[in-house]
Amino acid sequence: MSNVDQIRTAIIELEKSFNERWSSGDNRGYLDNFADEVSYFDPILKDLIVGRENVIAWIDSIYSNPNITRSEYLNPSVHVGDTEDSAVLGYNLNTYVHDENGNEVQLRAWNATHAYRLIKGQWRIVHSNWAFAQTVDTKIAS
């Protein structure tokens, strides 16, 4: 396996580990991995949030245990920079919970993009963008 392939695999596994923690009620996986200069787009906010402390404060203010029982990680794509110290991950994420009758139902469908940088030997998220997978029902270009 090439070094680039190893980086791709590591980034995907890292992301899955953060998301599994999030799904079970522990948001610290993502929060502890944000770089100091992280920027963050949240689908319910108009403006970009910049800086680790600001992003953490925002997420802590809205987070509650989602009790996600299953996640589907679809179409992951990792682009590794030429110097192998940066990577951009994009993927689709479907999350599922149990309804009041114990049946599994889809909670959300997301489009996620995370830019990672190797900082002091650890892959850190320097940009995070979460978007709802579908917000309009007509084709638009702008």
Q: Which pLDDT belongs to residue 142?
A: 64
117, two tokens:
């940088």
107-142 pLDDT tens trace:
999 999 999 999 999 999 999 999 999 776 777 676
Domain ranges of the chain: 3-132
Label residues 33-71 b or e (16+ Cβ within 10 Å = b): bbbeebbbebeeeeeebeebeebbeebeeeeeeeebeeb
- Could you tell me which of 91, 104, 90, 95 has the C-alpha nearest to residue 72? 95
pLDDT at 45: 94
Q: Is 3 exposed, middle or buried (0-12, 13-18, 19+ CB in 10 A)?
A: exposed
Instruction: Give, as one character, the DSSP assignment of residue 33.
Output: H
The verdict on pTM exceeding 0.85 is: yes
Q: What class does CATH assign to 3-132?
A: alpha beta
Angle CA(82)–CA(20)–CA(93) in degrees, nearest 5? 65
| Contact (Cβ atoms closer than 8 angstroms) between residue 110 and residue 130 | yes
Q: What is the mean pLDDT of residues 29-51?
A: 96
pLDDT digits (tens, 9 = 90+) for 85-115: 999 999 999 999 999 999 999 999 999 999 9
Banded model confidence at residue 1, pLDDT cuts 50, 70, 90: confident
What average pLDDT score do residues 49-60 get?
A: 97
Q: What is the mean pLDDT of the chain?
A: 94
CA distance 92 to 111: 5
Lowest mean pLDDT across 24-28, 57-61, 133-137? 133-137
What's the whole-number mean pLDDT along residues 51-71? Answer: 95
Please enumerate in sequence order all residues whose Cβ is within 8 A of that of 124, keeping only pairs 6 or more positions apart, or say none.
33, 34, 35, 38, 116, 117, 118
